[in-house]
Structure 1
Amino acid sequence: MNHSVEKIGGTSMSRWQDVLQNIWLRPHTGADGNSSLYQRVFVVSAYAGITNGLLEHKKSGEPGVYALFAEMDDKHPWQDKLQQVLQQMLDINAGMFADDAVTRKRADQFISERIGDVQECLQHLAAVCSFGHFQLDDHLHRVREMLSALGEAHSAYNSVQLLRQHEVNARFIDLTNWVSDDQQSLDEHIASAFADVDFAREMPIVTGYTQCREGLMRTFDRGYSEMTFSRIATITGAREAIIHKEYHFSTADPLLVGADNVHPIGQTNYDVADQLANLGMEAIHPRAAAGLRKQNILLRVKNTFEPEHSGTVIRNDYCSSTPKVEIIAGTRNVWALELFDQDMVGDPAYGQRMNDLVLESGVRVLTKDYNANTVTFYMKGNSRRINWLMERLQQVYPQADVRVEKLALVSAIGSDMNIPGLLQQAAGALSAAGVNIRSVHQALRQVDMMFLVSDSDYAAAVKALHGQLIEQADTWPAQKLA
């Protein structure tokens, strides 16, 4: 096929004027050499902040509609929160369609009706679950999916109205399955939705959320839009998959090391993308990338606000021609949970129950280490889950000493980091910056090197490693000028 499938993130969607001019109304040249607005499918995220209000804040954990509903408070604070989110959506509509009262009314009616449907459904569900025969926990994953669908439906519907104002033949493809008794699989739902799409004459605008039998959120939680994006690309046979973000896929976070000191990576492979995903800094969810990888579909990450830049290409067969570090990345608020027990020495089955409990807790393990009598998990998760895990571990291993400490993880990543003395360089840079290394991990495959440091040293560690391994490296100057 000659079309591309492109995903636009929430922060970019909130700057819809830039998206309109830099992406939608910007002709592109297809594989056949012809320039056109079409031959492109766009999967859109909810506007920035909307999904936080519908579910919970992704970073702070502040409860949204879902979290408040799950508490089953008799005062029903979720209803007030739902109305707050609706007002946010209506304010967005007012800004987008300030000069077109008819379109604004149409957009307001669309999202108001959906919010009304959700409110009525949740009220009925709460009433049903007040009886002992029905447990709210059995239905919460469906509630989460239904609330998630609101944000993407709102942004996709608005985008179609906006494009039609500019005489673009945009088509709204609603994968939320809002009013239907038909339950299809993910692939079946996408295939049927695109069965009659004319890529040469239509610009499909697709909801990032897809309702399906599998339940996307149970597996991918808030990474569901990337799975929708990936499956559309593979099922429709796209020639290229593109992710539009508000920043370049760069050598480090410019807010930490300075915008003048970072630059786009240009090229990398899916292995590097997987390492970033492990840190929660996803170029694309690993499961979503798998389909693209198998179909050998090229993935490109572009900056929404620099449309002339070709972005970063991620593909299967790339490997740096010269071994080097490509990116410094990391994450704060990492829980180091340590279990010390002399009884584990020589017992190969000792850790089985431990691993089961970690999985059951729902925390995400970044890495772990162990020696003869100690196992340490480095994890991401909220304090409630960590405390639950600690209590259960202490119950199962009553003779063990269990403790937890909050750290930060900083990682040097590259498609080929087989560089003699690299560990010494990195450790020296951290030491010179006054950063104490609490733990270090380096795999034989030479694609990443992890350093656990004090949480307060995170920014200093990123700056130190970027300065030594990238800014001062003689493998980067030529690419800086490219």
Structure 2
Amino acid sequence: MKVLKFGGTSVGSSKNINSVISILEDYATKDSVVCVVSAVGGITDKLLLAGKQAQNKENSFTETFNTIKDIHLTIIEELNPNKNESIINYADSKLNELKSLLDGIFLINELSPKTSDKLVSFGELLSAYIIAETMKNRGISADYKNSQDLVITNSNFSKAEVNYAITNKNLQDYFKSASQKTTILPGFISKSALGEQTTLGRGGSDFTAAIVAAALKVKQLEIWTDVSGMFTTNPKLVKQAYPIDEISYQEAMELSHFGAKVLYPPTVQPVLDLNIPIHIKNTLQPEAVGTIISNDEIVSTSPVKGISNIGNIALLTLQGSGMIGIPGFSKRLFEVLSQEKINVILITQASSEHSICLGIDETDAEKAKTAIDAAFDNEIALHKIDPIIVEKDLSIIALVGDNMKNHQGISGKMFSTLGKNNINIRAIAQGASEKNISAVILQSDVKKALNTLHEQFFESKTKQLNVFITGVGNVGEKLVEQIKQQRQYLKENLKINLRVAGLSNSRTMIFNEEGIDLSTWKDQLAKGEKATLEGFFENTKALNLRNSIFVDVTANKEVANLYTNYLRQSIGVVACNKIACSSDFENYKLLKRLSLKYNAPFLFETNVGAGLPIIDTLGNLIASGDKITSIHAVLSGSLNFVFNNFTDKTKFYDVVKQAAAEGYTEPDPRIDLSGVDVARKILILARESGVEMNLEDIENTPFLSESGMESDTVDDFYQTLITDEAHYQSLYASAKAKNCQLKYVAQFNNGKASVSLQEIPSDHPFYNLKGKDNIVMFYTQRYPEQPMIIKGAGAGADVTASGLFADIIRIGND
């Protein structure tokens, strides 16, 4: 014999009921079947609502009743379009009884637990009868049996206790003589020994199924629902969650306690006692394997079996120096909560005995505070303890697994993973059995926490990075295209799942927590919302995605000023914008401190040399104990391009215009030609070498004409290049006469830095530097005579984008 239970969603519509009937018909070809059904999905809540409305003298109870009636009559018509008279007669009879009961509640203005049990029983009585009669109408051997004739309880209304001696005998006697292949039983409902209608409380239909399975000693109980078993975590919040094939009773109970709604543990006690396995199946996907719950030894590669959570938690904290060493505080505290019928979900106490923290349902928070403060009124008045502290908008997340106790470091991995994503932990609880590690966090962090932990414990070490890019001009566009091109490679080879979750230019911005489709990003951005720097930050913060990275592809000071905001939210920052790292030294150090404090990477390799690994190499030298003695460098790809192309046969204006058109200069070329850009770069290298220095400390010898230096606008500046051509030709002529090349050189030596245009002789390493190339020579204690040299393209959209991309990948590999 098979015992199957179908929940409210499984019987929530005629379509779903047809699926149930198909499953039952298939099973009945092989064995006799007992099918326990819940009320049609949502009906129990509507019955309670109608009762409450009637009790409160609200005429709207009639509308709620009519909704209940319409739902059932529609289902009957859809299931039995041509042969439904007997079912409609039964339904009308039951619905008339229901209406009379509601009218009575309305008249006497009272809804007792006894009446409430009678009220909610109509849901299961109707659904079970409809299904049984529909099957008979289709020629299937099936019959309806009222569970109230079989399951006998005491008179503890709303959560009656079963008399197993009588109930088991009733079930065994009935099914010995039952001739039908399929028996449909309403779940949840029962009768007292005095003949009063009772119910079995929360999870009552599961309970009915477990009682039947235990009484008949079947080999397995099947619980059919709307999901394919118990999942590694909530699939509505974590798309990568997947069903667990096998799980122990203890693990299932822990997961169910902490929010997994598939199973309500107390209801399956009858089958647990007899070690009858429970199989969770999906009504809408009957071919899915589902989850088997048993006491059999289960071999698992992962010590963590699942991650669950309970929302809408309030944390109560009782604390005070007067608690230390004084027995009885805990006893009094729990007695107060017990008297108020408040369930305690989580408990944690500091070893100092200075405080006790309790997690309860948020709806009970104010009642609990009032009762506890009253109970400890004397101690509060004497300042021995503080008034109870209540924190709301919290959630409990829990790692569950029988084998966690045999694996070191699970707790450490859990908390470090949460910490890296700026998820603050308010309280921690871990039982001595080590089957469960629980933490209280903000409700707003639940999705990020579950995704982060699931990635850590269940996914094939694939790390998801969520990138938010501001500035999708020339370089930004190249970066997006590189990400699009390499996404699959990163996923397959580096186990990095890189998603662009936000994009912005100076006009519009777009966001998508699932990742923006990079094949149409330009069209999407054109239709995006109005862009603001603060709005971009607030949207990034609100999405609260794990491993978030803000990428600044601008030269904007206001954007750089927001880095502190991102870092304080544990959002990494990758920047080609040099303004932040060349700003006041205290701001530079603040950014470094925030990066460490909030575990948020702050990478800016492209600040110097575009895609060349200059800052990374410098950092490795310093970290390995080497010391920089001097740096000699050509750090401006734009200036190198200009002076490599400027001759006595060209115009300086034309060469600068060409450099700007090819993207080698900033939009305002004065930043490059004035030497400010190079000064910022040598400043950053000096700071990364460990020297405290500001931009004004760098000696900058300009080569521009006086009128070029004093120009007010970009257009004015370009005009000076034309009028002052002789000045620039004289610079070229001087170098040529000495067989030298003009190079704009940055130097750092003995704690001092300078930038200037220099005439480089033919035997110097800088002489043959071509095109837009950069070169850096590090002289160190380990490289005192022959420097470490880094050379290559130091400007251009592609190489700058690749440098930003490399920093993003570096974060993914950490």
* TM-score calculated relative to the size of structure 1: 0.83
What is the letter of the counterpart of residue 47 of structure 2?
L
SS at match of 1:300: strand
Does structure 1 residue 442 correspond to structure 2 residue 420? no
Match of 1:196 among 152, 155, 174: 174
Deviation at 1:463, TM superposition (A): 0.3
Please state how far the C-alpha of 1:95 moved relative to its aligned partner: 2.4
Superposition map of 1:54-453 within 5 A? 54-55=47-48, 64-69=49-54, 72-97=55-80, 99-100=81-82, 102-103=83-84, 105-124=85-104, 127=107, 129=108, 136=110, 140-176=112-148, 186-187=163-164, 188-189=166-167, 191-192=169-170, 195-197=173-175, 198=177, 201-213=180-192, 221-248=201-228, 249-258=230-239, 261-322=240-301, 324-371=303-350, 372-382=353-363, 385-398=364-377, 399=380, 400-406=386-392, 407-417=394-404, 418-453=406-441
Shift of 1:377: 1.1
Question: 3-state DSSP class of the match of 1:113?
Answer: helix
- Distance verdict in 2 for CA 1:201–1:212, change over 3 Å: closer
CA contact (8 A) 1:6 1:244 kept: yes
Alignment partner, residue 607 of structure 2? none
> Given residue 114 of structure 1, which amino acid in structure 2 is its aligned partner?
K
Structure with the bigger RCO (C-alpha within 8 Å, sep 6+) is: 1
CA distance in 1, matches of 2:105, 2:197: 20
| 1:24 counterpart residue number | 24
Aligned to 2:46: 53
Which SS does the other structure have where 2:174 is aligned?
coil
CA deviations 1:411-434 (Å, max 9, x no partner) are 111121132111121122212333
RMSD: 2.8
Q: 3-state SS of the aligned residue for 1:211?
A: strand
Does the CA contact (< 8 Å) of 2:53 and 2:60 recur in 1? yes
Could you give the per-residue CA deviations for residues 368-423 of structure 1, whole angstroms, max 9, x where no partner exists? 112312221111252xx321221111111120321211211111111211321111
What residue identity is the alignment partner of 1:294?
Answer: D
For residues 314-344 of structure 1, give each alpha carbon's deviation from its aligned partner in whole angstroms, at most 9, with x where no partner exists: 1123344545111111121111122223332
> What residue is the counterpart of 1:60 in the other structure?
none
Give 3-state SS (helix, strand or coil) of 1:106's partner: helix
Provide the rounded CA distance (Å) in 2 between the counterparts of 1:119 and 1:143: 13
Deviation at 1:218, TM superposition (A): 8.5
Helix, strand or coil at the partner of 1:401: coil
Residue-by-residue CA offset, 1:114-156 (whole Å, 9 max, x unaligned): 22223323444565x57xxxxx4xx621122112211111111
Contact 1:86 / 1:115 at 8 angstroms: preserved in 2? yes
| Structure 1 residue 220, shift from structure 2 partner | 5.2
Over residues 134-183 of structure 1, what are the superposed CA-to-partner deviations in whole Å (9 max), with x where a residue is unaligned?
xx4xx6211221122111111111111221133211110112469x9x99
Query: 1:387 & 1:325 partners in 2: Cα distance?
Result: 35
Is the 8 Å Cα contact of residues 124 and 189 (structure 2) preserved in structure 1? no
Instruction: Specify the code of the residue in structure 2 equivalent to 1:472.
Output: S
1:73-126, CA deviations, whole angstroms, 9 ceiling, x for partnerless residues? 2344434422322222222222222x22x31x3323222222222332344456
CA contact (8 A) 1:409 1:451 kept: yes
Give the Cα separation in 1 of the matches to 2:302 and 2:429. Answer: 19
Listed as ranges, the gaps of 5+ residues in structure 2 are 156-160, 381-385, 463-814
Classify the secondary structure of the residue corresponding to 2:190: coil
Aligned residue for 1:26, secondary structure, equals helix
Corresponding letter in the other structure for 2:56? D
Q: Name the CA distance, whole Å, in 2 between partners of 1:460 and 1:199.
A: 53
CA 1:279 to 1:362, structure 2 compared with 1: closer, same or farther past 3 Å? farther
The CA distance in 1 between the partners of 2:52 and 2:89, in whole Å, is 26
- Pick closer, same or farther for the CA change 1:25–1:361 going to 2, 3 Å: same
Counterparts of 1:359 and 1:280, CA distance in 2: 22
8 A contact 2:171–2:216 mirrored in 1 = no
2:524 match: none
Residue 458 of structure 1, CA deviation: 0.6
- Would the aligned equivalents of 2:247 and 2:294 in 1 still touch at CA under 8 Å? yes
Corresponding residue pairs, total? 437
In the alignment, which residue of structure 1 is the partner of 2:37?
44
- The AA in structure 2 aligned to 1:50 is I
In 2, Cα distance between equivalents of 1:39 and 1:431: 54
Task: Write the deviation string for residues 280-313 of structure 1: whole angstroms up to 9, x where unpaired.
Answer: 4244332222211211211111122222233211
Cα contact 2:320–2:354 (8 A) shared by 1: yes
Contact 1:141 1:218 in 2 (8 A): no
Larger Rg: 2
Structure 1 residues 121 and 177: CA distance shift in structure 2, 3 A: farther
Offset of residue 17 of structure 1: 2.2
The answer to whether the 8 Å contact 2:414/2:453 transfers is: yes
CA distance in 2, matches of 1:44, 1:387: 37
**SS of the counterpart of 2:9?**
helix
Give the letter aligned to residue 374 of structure 1.
S
Shift in alpha-carbon separation, 1:125–1:67, aligned structure 2, 3 A = closer
Kindly provide the amino acid, as one letter, of the partner of residue 98 in structure 2.
V
Q: Is the 8 A contact 1:268 1:315 kept in 2?
A: yes
Q: Within 1, Cα distance between the matches of 2:199 and 2:355?
A: 31
Residue aligning to 1:13:
11
Preserved CA contact (<8 Å) 1:339 1:376: yes
TM-score by length of 2: 0.50
Q: From the superposition, tell whether residues 218 and 156 of structure 1 become closer, same or farther in structure 2 (CA, over 3 Å).
A: closer
Counterpart in the other structure of 1:4: 2
Amino acid at match of 1:47: V
